[in-house]
Amino acid sequence: MLEMPSFKILLHCENGSPPYLTPILLAKFFPSSNRLVQNHLVFGVAVGDSFVAPEYGSRSSIKKRGRLQPKNKIEVVTNKPIGYTFVGKSVREKLHIPADYNVIACPSFDLIDDFGSANSKAKASTSNTEVTLLTPHGQQKLSPSLFRQVVKEMQVPACVGLYDQPASNNSKRTRKSLERTKLWTEMATADFGSKIWAPVIGGDDLSVRLRCIKNALAVDDIGGFALVGIQHIDNRARRQELLKRCMKEIPRDLPCGVLVSLDILQIIDAAASGVLYIGTALPTTLARSNKALNIDLSAWRLHDRNNKGRESDESERKRHRTGSLEPLDKVKTYFSEGGSIDLGSDVYVQDMAPLVDGCACLACSQHNRCYIHHLIKAKELLAEILLFYHNLHSLLEIFEEMSKAASAGMSTDFVEYVELQLQGSVVAA
């Protein structure tokens, strides 16, 4: 049997902290000693979200001396901020993430998403010497030298390098982005204090991404690769092909991650291509839309146990793909399209069942669907908290089963099993 790959959730943190999790709650409900957390959870921290601080100093002021005298500029020292800048601090001290949890930093998870949000009127701008990040305090410029200083003080084991990301297929703009990313990646390996993952940009242009990978491989001490902007490729077949081609060019001894995955389908596509670190904010976004992940893994686990020790040759795999996995049609489960259920719906007013039968998370072990529905209708924050805990726990279990399936040579079967549920099908008893 192949060595089990450990797929990892690169969970997007907000303002540097895991959503809905204080250090005490993190240690209680997702302790670092938990096997799922140990094997599959990594916190992703964006410098643009978390390390902006006020800048103090002198400010020029104009003072009149009498009615007829000219204006004179003088320097006035003020205790009010004159602006904002990026300041590096240890993630353990500033963000209170305990030392036994793994952390990967990046400038931003996606520049296009940041500036393309509906509530933002800001426009991205980049030069050869700095990139603009959208922060809680507006637009801020980040130069390679300042980025290096911040990352060194963050004291993280790995960090995605500074990158420029084109928002269009304009060839001139893409070429400039490629040149800047190459230059900043070369600069990043010098005295950074962290393993630098080379960003791979290029939108849906495979040739640009392959050139980006080639440029990074020529740089010494690259610690891994980060595929930027994959979520913007709407065509699934194109996205799958691009992932596979990129992974072919990346050495197997270097880790590779996708910074953003928007849904379960994008997650399993990334895993099927061999990407180990998969960035997502899915547990958070689903919780805020009153949804709970409802991927039922019980039938898959039964099938997996029944096939232990069987020879996994091509004819056996073909039978699984073209026929039916026998145990799957003996388990009854219900789920909505997209692999989640909307607890805001009135169908759950009197539903006493847990979110998912057999789930051991806090929400499922101590509460039921009608209670969480009540919390949603009462606009209680506890609803989002419980849904987030359930969604993160469920995603960790999905990553565990994906890892086991990959080690057993059954990745295709697992992907098909999950897709069946995502289509909104019902497996009858």
| Domain limits, the chain | 8-51+90-280, 52-86, 291-422
Max CA pair span of the chain:
97
What integer pLDDT is reported at residue 419 of this predicted model? 86
Residue 296: the pLDDT is: 81
- pLDDT value of position 368: 93
In the prediction, which pLDDT does 367 show?
Answer: 93
What is the pLDDT, as a whole number, of residue 314?
Answer: 45
Angstrom CA distances, 55 to 59, 80, 172, stand at 11, 9, 36
- To which H or E segment does residue 45 belong? strand 41-46
Query: For 310, what's the count of Cα atoms within 13 Å in the CB-facing half-sphere?
Result: 15
pLDDT confidence of residue 335: 45
Residue 223, Ramachandran bin (φ over 0: left; ψ between -120 and 50: alpha; else beta):
alpha
Structure tokens at 324: 């039916």
pLDDT at 58: 61
Residues of the chain with pLDDT under 70: 1-4, 57-79, 117-124, 189-190, 303-338, 424-429
Place of tokens 């084109």: 166
Spatial distance between the Cα atoms of 405 and 311, rounded to a whole number of angstroms: 14
At residue 123, the pLDDT reads 64
With contact defined as beta carbons under 8 Å apart, do 291 and 341 qualify?
yes
Q: Is 360 exposed, middle or buried (0-12, 13-18, 19+ CB in 10 A)?
A: exposed
Q: How many residues does the chain have?
A: 429
Q: Quick one: pLDDT at residue 426?
A: 44
Rounded to whole angstroms, how far apart are CA atoms 44 and 224?
15
Q: What value does the CA radius of gyration of the chain take, rounded to a whole number of Å? A: 24
Amino acid sitting at position 146: L
- The values of phi and psi at residue 198, to 5°, are -75, 125
pLDDT at 70: 54
**Axis crossing angle, helix 264-272 with helix 411-422, rounded to the nearest 10:** 170
pLDDT at 298: 78
**For residue 1, how many other CB atoms are within 10 A of its CB?**
7
Task: Name the CATH topology of 8-51+90-280.
Answer: TIM Barrel (3.20.20)
DSSP SS3 for 368 = coil
pLDDT, residue 166, reads 82
CA–CA distance, 358 with 244 (Å, rounded to integer)? 35
